[in-house]
């Protein structure tokens, strides 16, 4: 049975929660931890008379329980409340950055990570504009300079990136980079070939080649995330617009994207 069929058969149960502000707010609040009635009143700005019937319904549905005047989610309630929270955060993240998503090629982001796109809610989109013609590039170089570890997926290569990475590697910072074939070919030419040769004995540096194109640009450090994508048609890489975040959830999302791509690396073909 697919999602539409489930909705048609059990839609009233779902709509009862989403139609009621208080039912939704109670579940979202308890998803963060147990609450007393007075706390629920204060946060939802509602009366006990309004809240108690909603609490009784959620108890009857076995989604919440009470113990010593504390309301908390049951095991089933945690699943439902978590799903509701995820759906709202996903929608808000798509809506907050809708122009960024609409103008870029998302197909290279794996489905499991697209489903977790809400992790990027606490982000900002930076653009090159007016006098800030290198705004995105300079912010990425700053990220590299301030990082204590660096993971990257590179769809482009510049001397500025190469020099910044080289400097951090020589300072002992762990760096792992994944590049597609077209970037790997560029790295075989001067001046990149010489820069790579100078790093060959550093155990804290790993350069991996994917045997396919990668239509994302990613820098994720212990402190920040930077995400660049190809423009809508998936042909031209957009170096002038990027999504940045220092939120821990966004950073973890970026690391998962990196590990996903690392899992597709053919280590027998990674020599440059």
For the segment 78-97, what is each residue's pLDDT rounded down to a tens digit?
999 999 999 999 999 999 99
Please report whether residue 31 resides in a domain: yes
Looking at the fold, whether 219 and 112 belong to one and the same domain comes out as yes
* Eight-state DSSP code of residue 129: B
The mean pLDDT value for 95-112 works out to 94
Looking at the fold, whether 217 and 261 belong to one and the same domain comes out as yes
Question: How many domains does the structure of the chain reveal?
Answer: 2
Q: How confident is the model at residue 19 (pLDDT cuts 50, 70, 90)?
A: confident
Looking at the fold, whether 67 and 172 belong to one and the same domain comes out as no
Q: Which residue, chain included where needed, has tokens 């790993």? A: 206
Is 204 a residue whose pLDDT tops 90? yes
Looking at the fold, whether 25 and 133 belong to one and the same domain comes out as no
Please report whether residue 75 resides in a domain: yes
Please report whether residue 100 resides in a domain: no
Model confidence over 146-181: pLDDT tens digits? 999 999 999 888 899 999 999 999 999 999 999 988
Best CA proximity match to 246, nearest among 111, 142, 175, 104: 142
Is 220 a residue whose pLDDT tops 70? yes
Beta-strand runs (E) in 17-110: 35-36, 64-67, 70-73
CATH number at residue 202: 3.30.870.10
How far the first Cα of the chain sits from its last, in Å, is: 49
Please report whether residue 252 resides in a domain: yes
Please report whether residue 95 resides in a domain: no
Residue 1 has a pLDDT of 58
Best CA proximity match to 40, nearest among 73, 81, 80, 71: 71
Residue 181 has a pLDDT of 86
Looking at the fold, whether 175 and 52 belong to one and the same domain comes out as no
Looking at the fold, whether 76 and 134 belong to one and the same domain comes out as no
Looking at the fold, whether 31 and 122 belong to one and the same domain comes out as no
Is 270 a residue whose pLDDT tops 60? no
Please report whether residue 119 resides in a domain: yes
Of 25-29, 58-62, 231-235, 243-247, the range with the lowest mean pLDDT is 231-235
Please report whether residue 198 resides in a domain: yes
Task: Determine what percent of the chain is predicted with pLDDT higher than 90.
Answer: 75
Q: How confident is the model at residue 212 (pLDDT cuts 50, 70, 90)?
A: confident
Residue 267 has a pLDDT of 64
CATH number at residue 69: 1.10.10.10
At 110, give phi and psi (nearest 5°): -60, 150
Looking at the fold, whether 244 and 146 belong to one and the same domain comes out as yes
Looking at the fold, whether 22 and 128 belong to one and the same domain comes out as no
The mean pLDDT value for 41-56 works out to 95
Residue 43 has a pLDDT of 96
Q: How confident is the model at residue 269 (pLDDT cuts 50, 70, 90)?
A: low
CA–CA dist 105, 93 (Å, integer): 17
Residue 101 has a pLDDT of 96
Residue 264 has a pLDDT of 82
Looking at the fold, whether 43 and 130 belong to one and the same domain comes out as no
Is 272 a residue whose pLDDT tops 80? no
The mean pLDDT value for 188-206 works out to 93
Tell me if residue 45 falls in helix, strand or coil: coil
CA–CA dist 272, 182 (Å, integer): 12
Bigger pLDDT: 233 vs 109: 109
Residue 5 has a pLDDT of 64
3-state secondary structure 189-248: CCCHHHHHHCCCCCCCEEEEEECCCCCEEEEEECCCEEEEEEECCCCCECCCEEEEECCH
Range of the domain at 76: 3-87
- pTM comes to 0.85
Is 271 a residue whose pLDDT tops 80? no
Please report whether residue 185 resides in a domain: yes
Looking at the fold, whether 250 and 130 belong to one and the same domain comes out as yes
Tell me the average pLDDT of the chain.
Answer: 90
Looking at the fold, whether 152 and 77 belong to one and the same domain comes out as no
């Amino acid at each position: 049975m697919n999602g539409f069929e489930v909705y048609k058969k059990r839609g009233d149960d779902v709509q009862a929660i989403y139609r009621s502000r208080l039912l939704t707010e109670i579940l979202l609040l308890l998803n963060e931890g147990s609450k007393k009635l007075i706390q629920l009143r204060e946060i939802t700005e509602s009366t006990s008379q309004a809240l108690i019937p909603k609490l009784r319904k959620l108890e009857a549905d076995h989604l919440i329980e009470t113990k010593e005047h504390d309301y908390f989610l049951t095991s089933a309630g945690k699943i439902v409340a978590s799903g509701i929270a995820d759906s709202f955060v996903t929608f808000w993240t798509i809506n907050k950055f809708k122009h960024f998503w609409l103008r870029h090629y998302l197909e290279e982001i794996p489905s499991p990570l697209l489903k977790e796109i809400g992790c990027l809610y606490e982000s900002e989109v930076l653009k090159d504009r007016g006098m800030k013609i290198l705004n995105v590039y300079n912010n990425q170089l700053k990220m590299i300079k301030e990082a204590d570890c660096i993971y990257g997926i590179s769809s482009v290569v510049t001397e500025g990136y190469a020099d910044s990475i080289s400097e951090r590697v020589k300072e002992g910072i762990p760096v792992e980079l994944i590049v597609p074939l077209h970037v790997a070919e560029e790295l075989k030419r001067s001046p990149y070939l010489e820069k790579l040769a100078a790093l060959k004995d550093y155990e804290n540096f790993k350069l991996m080649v994917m045997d396919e194109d990668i239509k994302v640009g990613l820098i994720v450090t212990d402190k920040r995330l930077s995400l660049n994508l190809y423009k809508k048609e998936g042909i031209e890489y957009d170096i002038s617009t990027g999504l940045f975040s220092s939120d821990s959830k966004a950073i973890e999302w970026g690391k998962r994207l990196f590990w996903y791509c690392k899992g597709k690396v053919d280590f027998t073909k990674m020599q440059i």
